[in-house]
């Protein structure tokens, strides 16, 4: 198995954390998706990370599809897998959706800066709309933070919420608009004590 990845992508972190929580410890193969690495070009028509190439050569793309593959092939014995127990699956997926919306807005903001530079995309009407998505997503998750992680082993809502929190800290910690989210921070601190989260913390390479 080969995981084509970089160190900053929140989508990579979601896939890696889920893999580790399922007991699959695959050392990431570092690639720069923006440099058209031939291995990534070959495996993923969209040339994006994460891309998971299985031992039989099948390439899995899209973080949440990798999570679905994990659930399909490695369901938890007790029934409470990455989507939580059936009774809480809607809540887990609803909260995960909030986090994913904010993550997408954050990544789009970072990527579009490359396109519009030296004009800062962030202050354009679309940039401000994406900022609103980040702020509201974080605030809504903060309001629901107590519901996250109730089920014992971290589920997708914890993975995505912590990924969002830490990515915002990596990219936007200096921004005055970033809302204070003490409960998400506490959740991140608790989850980051686990190897699956600690080993996947994002960083900008030197
Ligand atoms: N929807 C995809 C998004 C993946 C994605 O956008 N990855 C970024 C890094 S954060 C990337 O590889 N970008 C390169 C590009 O867009 O060309 C997923 O969930 O995995």
Q: Rounded CA gap, 80 and 78, in Å? A: 6
pLDDT band, residue 78 (cuts 50/70/90): low
Q: At residue 138, does pLDDT exceed 80?
A: yes
SS3 47: coil
pTM of the model: 0.96
**What are the phi and psi torsion angles at 17 (to 5°)?**
-65, -45
What's the 43 CA to ligand 1 centre distance in angstroms? 14
Q: What is the position in ligand 1's atom list of the atom closest to the CA of 64?
A: 19
- Residue 146's pLDDT band, with cuts at 50, 70 and 90, is very high
| The ligand 1 atom nearest the CA atom of 12 | 20
Give the C-alpha separation, 137 to 89, whole Å. Answer: 19
Pocket of ligand 1 (CB under 6 A): 9, 11, 33-34, 47-50, 62-64, 107
* DSSP designation for 2: E
- As to burial, measured by CB atoms within 10 angstroms (0-12 exposed, 13-18 middle, 19+ buried), residue 89 is middle
* Cα 121 to middle of ligand 1, angstroms: 19
- Angstrom CA distances, 151 to 3, 89, 174, stand at 28, 11, 34
pLDDT digits (tens, 9 = 90+) for 7-53: 999 999 999 999 999 999 999 999 999 999 999 999 999 999 999 99
Give the domains, in start order, of the chain with CATH numbers. Answer: 2-73 (3.40.30.10), 86-198 (1.20.1050.10)
| Interval 120-133: pLDDT, tens | 899 899 999 999 99
Least confident of 113-117, 140-144, 202-206: 113-117
C-alpha dist (Å) from residue 178 to 7, 10, 26, 71: 22, 17, 34, 34
For residues 121 and 112, is the Cβ–Cβ distance under 8 A? yes
Distance 62 CA to ligand 1 centre (A): 8
- pLDDT at position 149 is 81
Q: Which atom belonging to ligand 1 lies closest to the Cα atom of 46?
A: 17
pLDDT above 80 (res 63):
yes
Q: How far is CA 69 from CA 9, 82, 121, 137, 176, in A?
A: 20, 11, 35, 26, 39
- Confidence at residue 151, expressed as pLDDT on a 0 to 100 scale: 65
Distance 87 CA to ligand 1 centre (A): 32
State how beta strands 28-30 and 59-61 pair.
unpaired
Higher pLDDT, residue 150 or 177: 177
């Amino acid at each position: 198995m080969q995981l084509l990845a970089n160190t900053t992508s929140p989508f990579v972190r979601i896939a890696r954390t889920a893999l580790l929580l399922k007991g699959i410890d695959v050392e990431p193969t570092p690639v720069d998706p923006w440099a058209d690495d031939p291995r990534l070009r070959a495996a993923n028509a969209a040339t994006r990370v994460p891309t998971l190439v299985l031992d039989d050569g099948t390439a899995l793309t899209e973080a949440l599809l990798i999570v679905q593959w994990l659930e399909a092939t490695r369901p938890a014995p007790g029934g409470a897998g990455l989507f939580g127990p059936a009774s809480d699956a809607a809540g887990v997926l609803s909260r995960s959706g909030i986090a994913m919306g904010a993550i997408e807005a954050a990544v789009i903001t970072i990527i579009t800066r490359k396109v519009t530079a030296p004009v800062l995309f962030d202050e354009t009407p679309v940039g401000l709309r994406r900022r609103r998505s980040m702020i509201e997503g974080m605030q809504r998750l903060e309001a629901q933070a107590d519901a996250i992680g109730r089920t014992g082993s971290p589920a997708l809502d914890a993975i995505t919420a912590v990924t969002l929190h830490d990515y915002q800290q990596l990219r936007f910690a200096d921004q005055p608009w970033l809302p204070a989210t003490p409960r998400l921070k506490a959740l991140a601190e608790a989850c980051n004590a686990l190897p699956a989260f600690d080993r996947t913390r994002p960083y900008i390479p030197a």
